[in-house]
């Protein structure tokens, strides 16, 4: 089995409070102290698996922690072994996605963190994949950062891309995914300018040329009218318009998209794309597609960010080479030829 190359070390930065054990369930720290006092420190094999079919995410971040925890412990005997699947891999219920073989004292404290990272990130990635599959071939961008705590917004955006989204709104999340952030302009800016065209022209003047000019057109006037005004003002520089009509005004509808598309085309602005956002989920996206609405891109927020975590379990399956398991589980290692040996560094 050949070890895979580690990703760039700066991609996922292990957090000090996780490394210190402050975020672990307290019984793991108690177990560590008790085992140390009793001089018990066997070599164990822990297997981690999900409770349902999913799109795996959080593996690369988990491996970053394991490299930090295990990779620099040159005195560990025997040398730790980590096998894993990777972010974006489709995984089945109870399929082993990661196996850690090492002395229990070296990593047992971090079970909470590893399971939490995998559970939350896999939930987001799996939800994103469902949305992306419904929307296909229309691309989806993740706009869910405002629905989660900022400390995990980057992981949520990254997981969305792992699930198939073509872009993410936060610089931190896009950076993890190796992309540039995707976004338009806030309603607040348009309200401050007092006119959509004035705001669009200022955006055009002061924003880097490589950033697509996408303008919100639902703030002050009829969406079709604002689309035409912005298209006339920016001409070929306008990449697209975003329709984000609030629920108080009936939200964006397929008929509205069709009207905006027709009016833009008739005025010679066929190059202008239409982005739809605002409370989108799989059901609404299906409605747009079945209605033949000419949407060029969907921006999806809470349907991804609000996804429930997918439960993961970590089981000891071997102690000092002896097959073992709690009741209800099969003792011994669970074979999975898809697992790859991970380079933990030196």
Tell me the pLDDT tens digit for each residue of 139-194: 999 999 999 999 999 999 999 999 999 999 999 999 999 999 988 889 999 999 99
How far is Cα 10 from Cα 209, in angstroms, rounded to an integer?
Answer: 28
Domain boundaries, the chain: 16-122+308-341, 126-305
Residue 11 binned pLDDT confidence (cut-offs 50, 70, 90): confident
Helix (H, G, I), strand (E, B) or coil at 238: strand
CB atoms within 10 A of CB 67: 20
pLDDT tens digits for range 221-239? 999 999 999 999 999 999 9
How confident is residue 75, by pLDDT bands cut at 50, 70 and 90?
A: low
Question: Does position 271 have pLDDT exceeding 90, yes or no?
Answer: yes
* Confidence check: pLDDT of 103 > 60: yes
Q: What number is the average pLDDT over the span 8-34?
A: 87
Residues of the chain with pLDDT > 70, as a percent, come to 96
Strands (DSSP E) found in the chain: 43-50, 54-55, 81-84, 90-91, 98-103, 140-142, 167-168, 213-216, 238-243, 273-277, 297-300, 312-319, 322-323, 340-341
Task: Record the pTM.
Answer: 0.92
User: What class, spelled out in words, does domain 126-305 have in CATH?
Assistant: alpha beta
- How many Å apart are CA 212 and CA 299, to the nearest integer? 15
Cα(248)–Cα(254) distance, rounded to whole angstroms? 17
The top-level CATH class assigned to 16-122+308-341 is alpha beta
> CA quadruple 215, 219, 221, 224: dihedral positive or negative?
positive
Structure confidence by residue, pLDDT tens digits, 260-270: 999 999 999 99
Decide: 43 and 101 in contact? Cβ < 8 Å: yes
Task: Confirm whether 16-122+308-341 and 126-305 share one CATH topology.
Answer: no
Q: How high is the pLDDT of residue 71? A: 79
pLDDT confidence bin for 30, thresholds 50/70/90: very high
As beta bridge partners, residue 318 has 45, 323
Mean pLDDT lowest among 1-15, 36-50, 71-85, 291-305: 1-15
Residue 25 has pLDDT above 60, yes or no: yes
């Amino acid at each position: 089995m050949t070890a895979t190359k580690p990703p760039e070390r700066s991609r996922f930065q292990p957090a000090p409070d996780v490394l210190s054990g402050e975020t672990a369930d307290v019984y793991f720290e108690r177990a560590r102290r008790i085992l140390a006092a009793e001089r018990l420190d066997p070599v164990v094999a822990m297997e981690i698996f999900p409770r349902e079919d999913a799109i795996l995410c959080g593996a690369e971040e988990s491996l970053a922690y394991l490299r930090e925890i295990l990779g620099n412990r040159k005195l560990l005997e025997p040398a730790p072994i980590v096998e894993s699947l990777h972010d974006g891999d489709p995984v089945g219920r109870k399929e082993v996605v990661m196996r850690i073989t090492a002395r229990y004292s070296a990593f047992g404290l971090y079970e909470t963190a590893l399971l939490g990272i995998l559970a939350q990130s896999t939930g987001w990635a799996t939800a994103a994949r469902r949305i992306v599959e419904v929307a296909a071939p229309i691309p989806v961008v993740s706009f869910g950062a405002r629905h989660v705590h900022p400390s995990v917004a980057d992981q949520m955006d990254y997981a969305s891309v792992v699930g198939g989204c073509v872009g993410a709104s936060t610089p931190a999340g896009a950076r993890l995914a190796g992309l540039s952030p995707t976004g338009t302009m806030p309603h607040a800016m348009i309200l401050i300018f007092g006119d959509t065209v004035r705001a669009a022209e200022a955006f055009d003047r002061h924003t880097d040329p490589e950033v697509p000019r996408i303008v919100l057109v639902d703030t002050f006037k009829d969406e079709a009218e604002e689309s035409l005004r912005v298209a006339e003002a920016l001409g070929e520089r306008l990449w697209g318009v975003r329709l984000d009509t609030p629920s108080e005004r009936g939200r964006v509808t397929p008929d509205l998209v069709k009207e905006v598309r027709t009016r833009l085309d008739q005025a010679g602005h066929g190059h202008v794309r239409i982005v739809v956002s605002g409370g989108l989920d799989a059901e609404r996206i299906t409605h747009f597609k079945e209605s033949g609405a000419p949407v060029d891109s969907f921006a999806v927020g809470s349907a991804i960010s609000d996804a429930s975590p997918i439960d993961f379990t970590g089981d000891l399956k071997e102690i000092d080479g002896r097959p073992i398991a709690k009741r209800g589980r099969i003792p011994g290692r669970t074979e999975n030829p898809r697992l790859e040996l991970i380079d933990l560094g030196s």
